[in-house]
Structure 1
Amino acid sequence: MPNFAVEYTYAPQHAALRDEYRSAHRHWLGESHAAGVVRMAGPYADGSGALVLVAADDRQAVADFLANDPFAEAGAIAATRISEWTNVFGPFGG
């Protein structure tokens, strides 16, 4: 199954909104990781966004999946970039 790198960009003015929904967002990520959909996830150290590696059939499946993220539902994400990613070294194929 293909992997997709998802880059979230966070707007500083939505920090309080992300704080409010962070627990639900991480719960959703955790369940999705346990189900094998989210391969790895985490925020950038500078707080500007996050990287999520998603296993899915295609880009539309990723977009549909991400629509269920509590951050997305709350409007806490300023921008989302989805790129198919080829693993050369590491645990996710290759």
Structure 2
Amino acid sequence: MTVVAVTYRYTDDVARRDRVLPEHRDWLRGLADQGVLLVSGPYGPDEPRGALLLFRADKAQVRALMEKDPFAAVGGVIAETEIAVWEPVIGFVLAAVRD
């Protein structure tokens, strides 16, 4: 199965992002429970505001999912999204991808 990496860059509207965060995380948990989302999380405090998400799906599926993300669909707190196929060759992620 294909692994797709999504990189978010957030807007500067922290208050709006914080309001939508619970809905966003519930949405992500649902995708993780389905086995579609492998891992996600924000960058550290000293990095640009954003997050990395890894999906086990094809690129078209991930694009469609991103449109339903509450951060994008409801919150308007995503300034930029990059979606790219990622090919892991070493490390623990391989076990999850091969399942």
Which residue number in structure 1 is paired with residue 15 of structure 2?
Answer: 16
Instruction: Tell me how far apart the structure 2 counterparts of residues 60 and 31 of structure 1 sit (CA, whole Å).
Output: 19
What TM-score, normalized to structure 1? 0.90
Structure 2: runs of 5 or more not aligned: none
Superposition map of 1:71-86 within 5 A: 71-73=71-73, 74-86=75-87
Q: How many residues align?
A: 92
Structure 1 runs (4+) greater than 4 angstroms displaced:
none
Report the identity percentage. 39
Residue 78 of structure 1: SS of its match in structure 2? Answer: strand
Residue 84 of structure 2: SS of its match in structure 1? Answer: strand
The structure where helix makes up a greater share of residues is: 2
Root-mean-square deviation (CA, aligned residues, Å) is 1.4
> Following TM superposition, by how much is the alpha carbon of 1:6 offset from its aligned partner in structure 2, in angstroms?
0.3
Which residue number in structure 1 is paired with residue 70 of structure 2?
Answer: 70
Structure 1: runs of 5 or more not aligned: none
Instruction: Tell me how far apart the structure 2 counterparts of residues 67 and 55 of structure 1 sit (CA, whole Å).
Output: 17
The AA in structure 1 aligned to 2:24 is H
1:7-34: CA deviations, max 9, x gaps?
Answer: 000121x211110100000011111111
